[in-house]
Amino acid sequence: MDNKTVKILLCDDNDNFRQLLTQYIKAMPGVEVVGEAIDGVDVIDKTEALDPDLVLMDLSMPNQSGLDATKTIKERWPEKSVIILTLYEDSVYKELADEFNADGFIAKSSIKAQLPSIIADKVKNTAH
């Protein structure tokens, strides 16, 4: 089996959160953070330029929402995985993420509990 690194693109308009998440992910095996985006327009451009396997997308951002950017990414590159990250834990946001074709939804308060297993699954499925 050929070991392939999972390329991750982070998108969040909060610089501090994005930097902390980058450091957290860099400590995980089998992944590489290939870039960071600050809004929905930027993440679409960087998805095209950087060809990530996984996009971690904030829900609420200026210029274009994470939901709209997710829909565009999934329409243009259906093979890309997009996980919505949000401060909102209400199930209505999970339903919205599903409607916009997101591959997953994580409340920011649950990142440490949920993100490692999502990334580990992506690493396992990409290593073929």
d(CA 90, CA 53): 27
Residue 35: C-alpha distances to residues 9, 20, 47, 59 (Å):
5, 14, 9, 18
At the top level of CATH, the class of 28-89+96-113 is alpha beta
Model confidence at 3, pLDDT cuts 50, 70, 90, reads low
* pTM confidence score: 0.87
Whole-number Å distance between alpha carbons of 126 and 123: 5
What would the pLDDT profile of 5-55 be if each residue is shown by its tens digit?
A: 899 999 999 999 999 999 999 998 889 999 999 999 999 999 999 999 999
